[in-house]
Amino acid sequence: MTILFWMIFQVVMIALAAPLFDGIARVLRARLQSRKGPPDFFQTYRDIIKLYKRSRTAPRCAHWFFTYAPFFLYATGAAMLAAMPITYGGLESVGYADIFVLVYLAALLKFVFGVASIDSGNPFAAVGGSREQMIGVFVEPVLIISLLVVMLLAGTSNLVVIQQMVLNGEVGFFMPAYAVASISFLWAMYVESGRNPYDLAEAEQELQEGVLGEYSGSDFGIAQAALILKQFAMIGLFITIFQPWNFGLEHPFLALIVFLVKAGVFYVAAVFIDNFGARYKLLSGFKSNATAALSISVVALVLYIVGV
Amino acid sequence: MNDKMNKKGDIFINKLKEKIKILDVSRMPEEQITITVDRADLPETVRMLYYDMGGWLSTMVPNDERQINGNYTLYYALSMEGGKMSYDDELPAEDKCWITVKAYIPATDPCYPSVTRLVPAAVWYEREAYDMLGLVAEGLPDPRRLVLSDDWPDDLFPMRKDAMEYNYRPDPVDHADEPEYKFLHPEGEGLIDVPLGPLHITSDEPGHFRLYCDGDTIIDADYRLFYQHRGMEKLAENRMSYDQMGFLAERVCGICGYAHATACIEAAERAIDMEIPRRAQAIRIINQEIERLHSHMLNIGLACEVTGNINAFMHIFRIREFSMELAQLVSGGRKTYGNVVVGGMRRDISAKEIRKGLELLQTMETQLKEVWEAVMEDDSQVSRWKGVGILDRQVARDFSAVGPNIRGSGFKRDTRYDHPYDFHDAIEYEVAVEEGCDVYAREWVRYKELLESISIIRQCFEIMPAGSIITNHNKRIIPQAYALANNEAPRGENIHWIQHGSAQKVFRWRCRAATYNNWPSLRFQFRGNTIADAALIVCSMDPCYSCTDRVTVVDVKSKRSKVLTHSDLKKYSQTLKHSPLKDI
């Protein structure tokens, strides 16, 4: 019962706080681009509220899937966040907080995204949807192999146990396999968060907002909030496995605050990557990048097998 | 004038005379030669001038001269400057001139043999000649409408002098009954038809593109433009005075309007051989170069933005603001508009403004170099530009492309250099040429031209003579006198052709925007690229949507074109026999 409470508590808190970090990122990005940008850090809240007040519209050819997809996306993002042992890590082991649960939830999110965009009937959205799946094809092997190394090292797929083992020093950066896996996982995490230069699916200039192209009003607001949640979930997974230290703050509430600050730093710092340079093309720039990341993750696996 | 002396253009006329019967030769301004031929000789004459003697099709003016001589007239204006396919394939500066091939079309039989079969560059012009005047080009490959909407009445040709009562307009057709525009659609397995437009989202301008894609790769493209045809040429006829013409011509474009206004007014001036003061010439050049500054910076910025590099875009736009400030200093407005009048300029520049202007140029130059260096160091940006949207040299030659578009394919083709006008004879500058044929080369051309523009403005500021800015010669308009005027707008060569009417009014104004000559080659630039590059390719051409669409299949080897109908293609792709491309 307590665990369920803490799960819901952490999801609500992160959902409420996430737009703040998006706002900070936007202000920082504007400064880097020598423009004025939003007046303060709360612009994303205002945007979502404004969008949420508006009515819903859907293309005539779209089906129920298109209509419910934003809620589905949001729910999936929330479910992913709930699976992170942030507040309840020290309490007891929970079966739900499992790497496989997270990996499948992420795949589900991608699937919903793709189907909703194809269902919208917009050819650009369809291209965006298919790009999203292609990105999945490139990223998921890296993600799985990196996580596999961690699971093999820890001997379990339960996140609570893995987190405890890292905290106790049973598994950690002194193991080369773990350290190398963290590098490839970091890449996969960044790509999954859908930011430039990997924002192929949502490329505004190429695909006219791609997958989200046909959403407007409250649907669009929810979908955007869901995407921010998804980014936090991906960052959260990295933090849970590779950066779980919370400076001895065991109390669930304090642990949540530490998590938010850490995730926020990652989220905002990504501006220094996404602000510069041009978007990759799927089959040239992106592919070679993915190959490099895949080889890093394979190196991690080999290191585990040879046992250094 | 001494008839024995060799005049400009005689070498071309003598060569033509060996094969073709020339009915008449006239020189209205000295370097603009008009030769009249029989309409049956039209295609061969234009072909000889174009391919054998190194001409480029600059414009074609269909005209209704029934009230003057009972005929319709066609003027194919060619810029004689050399084929430029190789380094030394260029005419010496003293031989460069304009040759206009004129042919009468009897009003009772309004048709003529199509030039397009021999010179593909004419295809757009001949389609427009049908839309506007009902002149039928026999053998013209593409039968589709060009300028007018698909529901326009079949028997109404707006540019005929007796065509339109302005209180009468054709009834709009109900939306459901609107005829469908036939896009060329290649048949094949699993091709996706991606419509881009009618409002292009990154250019925010109307143009309907159809991209035919296999996965992410573009197999072919087709486009329909002219959604906002405003009928300006008709509006100008017999109605506007020359004081108003400049304002009208400026409205052709939101970015390079000044180049249009200058070309239009200069056409009117050249037709009556009017010299304007050197100071006014220099100020016209300064304004045009300022326009090039802000237009090229807009384009380079967009080329970054389209690939997702918002940071570079924002910084280039920050620098662009200096050019707007400079425009305000020189012309009184951020858009340099409202300054050109027949005979000179409306507004002079003070020494104080020049000093401030020179400072602004210095700031702009330094910052521009910094940003460009940063963009060039960014490998992900450069790799998005390299090898994308290749404009084949032969395609460029066949379609008379202009501006940075063709200079990026290694042609030294710049109308400031080929046909210097105004103050350009006193100024030193280099024509920016790049060999890459891709987006990267075109953006490099633009960057080099930015630096050249800064240098040109600086030279103008420094060596500009003092004196009046408007001529006080009392020149009268000569009815039926005509001339064309050229200038190098940011997007390439603009050509305006004006024929004077009586009562100080325009009889015929033909405005040819630079992009008009660039659209047809766009289709070739699309092929084989991915959807990710589609917007970038359109952007690198820097389109002005005051143009049109035409699609033909061109065999670059035999230089002949053919249009495939929908059913042709369908039949071929179903049976794979009797290739429709075999006989071209």
pLDDT for A85-142, tens place per residue?
Answer: 888 776 666 778 888 998 899 889 888 888 888 888 777 787 778 788 888 888 889 9
> The dihedral of CA B198, B202, B205, B207: what is its sign?
negative
Question: In CATH, what number is assigned to the domain containing residue B437?
Answer: 1.10.645.10
Alpha helices in chain A (DSSP H): 2-32, 43-53, 64-82, 99-119, 123-154, 159-168, 176-192, 204-207, 217-242, 252-269, 271-274, 287-306
N- to C-terminal Cα separation, chain A: 42
Please check whether residue B72 lies inside any domain of the structure. yes
CB-based contact (8 Å) between B214 and chain A? no
Structure token digits, residue B17: 């005379």
Q: State the pLDDT at residue A246.
A: 74
CB contact at 8 A, B42 and B112: yes
Q: State the pLDDT at residue B72.
A: 93
Residue of B nearest to A195 (CA): B308
Q: State the pLDDT at residue B561.
A: 40
Contact across the interface for B314 and A33, Cβ inside 8 Å:
yes
Q: State the pLDDT at residue B142.
A: 77
Question: In CATH, what number is assigned to the domain containing residue B49?
Answer: 3.30.460.80
Q: Are residues B380 and B279 in the same domain?
A: yes
Q: Per the structure, how many domains does chain B have?
A: 2
Nearest to B384 among A32, A35, A278 (CB): A278
Contact across the interface for B318 and A34, Cβ inside 8 Å:
yes
Q: Dihedral, CA atoms, A131, A134, A136, A140, nearest 10 degrees?
A: -160
Q: Are residues B240 and B340 in the same domain?
A: yes
Q: How far is CA A281 from CA A128, A135, B336, B532, B537, in A?
A: 13, 11, 39, 7, 14
Contact across the interface for B307 and A127, Cβ inside 8 Å:
no
Q: Hey, is B63 helix, strand or coil? A: strand
- Label residue A145 by pLDDT band (50, 70, 90): very high
Q: State the pLDDT at residue A132.
A: 82
Q: Tell me the nearest-neighbour CA distance from A36 into chain B, angstroms.
A: 11
User: Which chain A residues are Cβ-neighbours of B305 within 8 angstroms?
Assistant: 205
Helix (H) or strand (E) holding B352: helix B351-377
Structure token digits, residue B251: 């409205």
Q: State the pLDDT at residue B576.
A: 45
Residue of A nearest to B539 (CA): A205
Which of B517, B549, B577 lies at the terminal end of a domain, its last residue? B517
User: Which chain B residues are Cβ-neighbours of A200 within 8 angstroms?
Assistant: 532
CB contact at 8 A, A93 and A159: no
- Residue A50's CB is within 10 A of a number of other CB atoms, namely 11
Residue of B nearest to A32 (CA): B311
User: Distance (Å, rounded) from C-alpha B85 to C-alpha B412?
Assistant: 9
Nearest to A281 among B213, B378, B530 (CB): B530
The closest alpha carbon to B43, from B126, B114, B137, belongs to B114
User: Which chain B residues are Cβ-neighbours of A270 within 8 angstroms?
Assistant: none
Q: Are residues B240 and B318 in the same domain?
A: yes
Nearest to A277 among B194, B309, B532 (CB): B309
Q: Hey, is B3 helix, strand or coil? A: coil
* Predicted interface score ipTM higher than 0.95: no
Check residue B530 and report its DSSP letter: B
For A160, the domain range is: 2-306
Contact across the interface for A279 and B532, Cβ inside 8 Å:
yes
Q: What angle do CA A30, B385, B191 make, to 5 degrees?
A: 105
Burial call B267-279: b when 16+ CB within 10 Å, e when fewer = bbbbbbeeebbbb
N- to C-terminal Cα separation, chain B: 47
Q: Hey, is B520 helix, strand or coil? A: helix
Contact across the interface for B311 and A282, Cβ inside 8 Å:
no
User: Distance (Å, rounded) from C-alpha B506 to C-alpha B241?
Assistant: 7
Nearest to A34 among B202, B309, B314 (CB): B314
Contact across the interface for B194 and A124, Cβ inside 8 Å:
yes
Please check whether residue B566 lies inside any domain of the structure. no
Tell which of B199, B378, B531 to mutate to test the A interface (max A CBs under 10 Å). Answer: B531
Residue of B nearest to A31 (CA): B311
Q: Are residues B23 and B123 in the same domain?
A: yes
Please check whether residue B294 lies inside any domain of the structure. yes
Which of B517, B551, B570 lies at the terminal end of a domain, its last residue? B517
CB-based contact (8 Å) between B217 and chain A? no
Residue of A nearest to B194 (CA): A123
Which of B473, B493, B517 lies at the terminal end of a domain, its last residue? B517
Q: Tell me the nearest-neighbour CA distance from B531 into chain A, angstroms.
A: 7
User: Distance (Å, rounded) from C-alpha B468 to C-alpha B482?
Assistant: 27
Q: Per the structure, how many domains does chain A have?
A: 1
User: Which chain A residues are Cβ-neighbours of B216 within 8 angstroms?
Assistant: 127, 131, 282-283
Residue of A nearest to B201 (CA): A208
Contact across the interface for A277 and B304, Cβ inside 8 Å:
no
User: Which chain A residues are Cβ-neighbours of B191 within 8 angstroms?
Assistant: none
Contact across the interface for B306 and A200, Cβ inside 8 Å:
no
For B332, the domain range is: 232-517
Contact across the interface for A196 and B535, Cβ inside 8 Å:
no
Q: What angle do CA A223, A224, A229 make, to 5 degrees?
A: 95
Number of Cβ pairs closer than 8 Å across A and B? 82
CB contact at 8 A, A275 and A32: yes
Q: What is the pLDDT of residues A2-41, one digit of tens each?
A: 888 888 888 998 999 989 999 999 899 898 888 888 998 9
CB contact at 8 A, B526 and B218: yes
Three-state secondary structure along A89-102?
CCCCCCCCCEHHHH
CB contact at 8 A, B295 and B256: yes
CB-based contact (8 Å) between B304 and chain A? yes
Q: Are residues B168 and B263 in the same domain?
A: no
Omega within 30 of 0 (cis) for the link into B198: yes
Three-state secondary structure along B274-309?
CCCCHHHHHHHHHHHHHHHHHHHHHHHHHHHHHCCC
Q: Are residues B251 and B388 in the same domain?
A: yes
Contact across the interface for B532 and A203, Cβ inside 8 Å:
yes
CB contact at 8 A, A118 and A125: yes
User: Which chain B residues are Cβ-neighbours of A282 within 8 angstroms?
Assistant: 216, 530, 532
pLDDT by residue for chain B (584 residues), tens only, comes to 444 457 788 888 888 888 888 888 888 777 889 999 999 999 999 999 999 888 999 999 999 999 888 899 999 999 998 888 887 888 888 888 899 999 999 999 999 999 998 998 888 889 888 888 889 998 888 778 888 877 788 888 888 888 766 556 677 777 777 777 777 666 666 666 666 666 665 566 677 777 787 767 788 887 777 777 777 888 888 778 888 888 888 888 778 888 889 999 999 888 888 889 999 999 999 999 999 999 999 889 888 888 878 888 889 999 999 999 999 999 888 888 888 888 888 889 999 999 999 999 999 999 999 999 989 988 888 888 888 888 888 888 998 989 898 999 989 889 988 888 888 888 888 899 998 889 999 999 999 999 999 999 999 999 989 888 888 877 788 888 888 999 898 888 889 999 888 877 888 888 888 888 888 888 888 888 877 787 788 888 877 654 332 222 233 333 344 444 444 444 444 444 454 444 43
Q: Are residues B382 and B300 in the same domain?
A: yes
